[in-house]
Amino acid sequence: MWNYMLFSILVLFLSFLYHCYFNKPVSMIEHPDADYDYIIVGAGTSGCVLASRLSEASNVTVLLIEAGGYFGWVSSVPLLSPMTQGTEFDWTYLMEPQKFSSKGFWNYVQKMPRGKGLGGTGQMNHLVHSFGRPDDYNGWPEGWSHADLLPYFEKVSDIMNVMSSPEEEFLVDAFLSAEDALNASHVTLQKGLYTVKKGSRWSTYNAYLQNAWNRNNLHILTNTLVSKIFFKDGTKATVDGVKVIYKGGSIGRIGARKEVILCAGVINTPQLLMLSGIGPAEDLNKFQIPVVNNLPAVGKNFFDQIMLPIYVKLEARVSMTLIKLQTLPEVMNYFVFGRVLTIVPRCEGWYATNGVMGTGRTNNSGVMLFGMGSTEEKMLRSMSNYMTEPYRSLYPSYKNNSQEGFLYLSYCLQPKSRGSVTLKSRNIRHQPKIDPAYFENYDDILCTHEAINFAIQTLETKMFREFGAKAHLPDLEECRHLPQDYRNIEYSECVMRVGGMTSYHACGSCRMGDDEHAVVDEELRVRGVSGLRIMDASVLPSPISGNPNSVFIAMAEKTSDLILGRSSK
Judge residue 186's burial from the number of C-beta atoms within 10 Å of its C-beta, 0-12 exposed, 13-18 middle, 19 or more buried.
exposed
Catalytic-role residue among 126, 219, 449, 505 = 505
| Cα gap 545→131, rounded to integer Å | 8
- Gyration radius of the chain over CA positions: 23
What b-and-e string marks burial along 118-143, b requiring 16 or more CB atoms within 10 Å of the CB? bbbbbbbbbbbbbbbbeebbeebbee
* Whether the Cβ atoms of residue 545 and residue 136 lie closer than 8 Å to each other: yes
Contact between residue 172 and residue 165 where contact means Cβ atoms under 8 Å apart: yes
Element (H, E) at 35: strand 35-41
Active-site residue flag, 517: no
Per-residue confidence in pLDDT tens, the chain, 569 aa: 444 445 555 555 555 554 544 568 999 999 999 999 999 999 999 999 999 999 999 999 999 999 999 998 999 999 998 899 999 999 999 999 999 999 999 999 999 999 999 999 999 999 999 999 999 999 999 999 999 999 999 999 999 999 998 767 899 999 999 998 987 778 999 999 999 998 899 999 999 999 999 999 999 999 999 999 999 976 668 999 999 999 999 999 999 999 999 999 999 999 999 999 999 999 999 999 999 999 999 999 999 999 999 999 999 999 988 888 888 888 877 877 655 544 444 456 888 899 999 999 999 999 999 998 777 788 888 899 999 999 999 999 988 888 899 999 999 999 999 999 999 999 999 999 999 999 999 999 999 999 999 999 999 999 999 999 999 999 999 999 999 999 999 999 999 999 999 999 999 999 999 998 899 999 999 999 999 999 999 999 999 999 999 999 999 999 999 999 987 65
Region of 127 (left: φ > 0; alpha: ψ -120 to 50; beta: rest) is: left
| CB of 533 closer than 8 Å to CB of 526 | yes
Q: Which residues contact 59 (CB under 8 A, 6 or more apart)?
A: none
Question: 200: part of which helix (H) or strand (E)?
Answer: strand 200-201
Maximum Cα–Cα distance across the chain: 74
Q: Shortest CA distance to 54 belongs to which of 44, 42, 62?
A: 62
What is the C-alpha separation between 285 and 274, in angstroms, rounded? Answer: 11
Measured distance CA(243)–CA(226) in Å, rounded: 6
